[in-house]
């Protein structure tokens, strides 16, 4: 009588744990080691301009960081940037998805054109907006202002954070549109026709049929965008360099200032740990939000 094979054996007699070990090891080296080094450096006095002042600092870097007004300003700017971009992209993406679902001449070309900004590199996008759109003398917005007899606006001096929000929202609006348009195409047309036959108008159909159908897709858009919006850097670096003052300095740019302008590796690492904690808090909240919507 043949003996039963040992539980858990796979092809070649290898156990699942042996097959998973290379992937787990690579994941450990890829994620845990850099994180551990960041935490270690955040506990050190490590300034490249003062190599003699080195050694274990304990929580000094964190104490200085949390008493620095720049940290709280950068966190407020980060939240404002993320919040306003999400509002613009979700609302605009939903309305554009409803619009592009309708039949009209040239719809295919219009869809390609409206999605194309998402494929433009952030640095190029920032340069286009800085020199072509928002330039106070030669920009398109200045030309439009002069056309109506009003004074052109120096966007990056007068409305710096608003300018960054506009640039980033322009980049991410096509992404929201793409996800929401894909979701709205799966809407049951028979349900919409039944609502029309019952006397429902376009506004009622949108709020009671289309919008509930897009709830899951909107949750996915918010989750993905928020993760990337927490790390916006290129647009700020190219246009305002975090200024005027700290008006457009977000958490990612503050870490860059501490690391590559002040050469304070310890302080920058402490800022990195704070950014990691903030990102994980946001991720936990978003995962629960998406999971709740998927259960509905």
Residue 284 pLDDT > 90, yes or no? no
- Is there a single domain that holds both residue 13 and residue 131? no
Give the model's confidence band at 206: pLDDT under 50 very low, under 70 low, under 90 confident, else very high: confident
* Digit-coded pLDDT (tens) for 185-196: 888 888 888 888
Q: Which domain holds residue 219?
A: 58-295
Minimum mean pLDDT among 10-14, 80-84, 126-130, 272-276: which range?
10-14
- Split at pLDDT 50, 70, 90, the class of 220 is confident
Domains held by the chain: number: 2
Highest mean pLDDT among 16-25, 69-78, 111-120, 203-212: 69-78
Cα distances from 147 to residues 41, 128, 151, 284, in angstroms, run: 55, 21, 10, 49
Residue 52 lies in a domain: no
Tell me if 50 is assigned to some domain: no
Q: What is the pLDDT of residue 86?
A: 93
> 262 with 242: CB under 8 angstroms?
no
Are residues 205 and 250 located together in one domain of the fold?
A: yes
Q: For 216-221, what is the mean pLDDT?
A: 89
Q: Is the pLDDT of residue 6 over 70?
A: no
State the pLDDT at residue 3: 52
Q: What pTM did the predictor assign?
A: 0.86
Task: Give the span between the Cα atoms of 76 and 65, in whole angstroms.
Answer: 15
């Amino acid at each position: 009588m043949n003996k039963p094979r040992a539980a858990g054996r796979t092809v070649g007699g290898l156990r699942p744990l042996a097959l998973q070990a290379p992937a787990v090891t690579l994941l450990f080296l890829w994620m845990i080691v850099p994180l551990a080094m960041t935490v270690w450096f955040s506990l050190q006095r490590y300034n490249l301009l003062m190599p003699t002042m080195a050694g274990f600092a304990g929580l000094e870097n964190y104490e200085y960081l949390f008493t620095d007004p720049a940290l709280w300003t950068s966190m407020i700017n980060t939240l404002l940037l993320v919040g306003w971009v999400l509002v613009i992209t979700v609302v605009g993406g939903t309305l554009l998805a409803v619009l592009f679902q309708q039949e009209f001449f040239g719809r295919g070309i219009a869809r390609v054109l409206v999605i194309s900004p998402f494929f433009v590199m952030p640095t190029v996008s920032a340069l286009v907006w800085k020199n072509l759109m928002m330039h106070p003398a030669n920009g398109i917005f200045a030309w439009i202002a002069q056309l109506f007899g009003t004074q052109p606006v120096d966007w990056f001096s007068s409305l710096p954070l608003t300018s960054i929000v506009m640039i980033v929202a322009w980049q991410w609006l096509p992404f929201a549109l793409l996800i929401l348009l894909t979701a709205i195409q799966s809407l049951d047309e028979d349900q919409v026709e039944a609502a029309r036959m019952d006397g429902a108008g376009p506004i009622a159909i949108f709020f009671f049929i289309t919008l509930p159908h897009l709830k899951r897709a909107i949750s996915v858009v918010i989750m993905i965008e928020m993760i990337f919006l927490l790390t916006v850097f290129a647009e700020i670096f190219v246009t305002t360099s975090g200024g005027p003052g700290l008006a457009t300095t977000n958490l990612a740019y503050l870490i860059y200032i501490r690391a590559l302008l002040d050469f304070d590796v310890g302080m920058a690492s402490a800022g990195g740990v704070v950014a990691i904690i903030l990102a994980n808090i946001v991720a936990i909240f978003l995962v629960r939000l998406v999971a709740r919507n998927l259960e509905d």
